[in-house]
Amino acid sequence: MSYTEIAWFSSRIEAETVGHALDQYDIPFLVQSGDTGMFGPGMIGRSPVGASLLVPEKHVEEVRQLLNCVVRPFEEQDSEVDPADADADRLPK
């Protein structure tokens, strides 16, 4: 079975929490992270390497729809928005 990265999180616990939300839909998932060697499996805070959530290729579209209201789409996660720019339209003129 081929797995595809669907989202990236700043900590393993976040990736696993979102992954387990898929349990009710019987969608398997994997969490991959390089943090275990650095901080140990009990590390619950942010990791400098983050964690990826992967799902089987056949469930990618279904999971994207389910997670759309929970996390930013994976394709948008690389583009960081400057908070000053994001709030500029809400500031009084």
What tens digit of pLDDT does each residue of 14-32 get?
A: 899 999 999 999 999 999 9
pTM: 0.65
CA nearest 10: which of 53, 68, 40? 53
What tens digit of pLDDT does each residue of 66-87 get?
A: 888 766 655 555 554 444 444 4
Write down all domains in the chain, each with its CATH number in brackets.
Answer: 3-78 (3.30.70)
What is the H or E stretch that residue 21 is in?
A: helix 12-21
What is the H or E stretch that residue 38 is in?
A: helix 36-39
Burial environment of residue 18 by CB neighbours within 10 A (0 to 12, 13 to 18, 19 or more) = buried
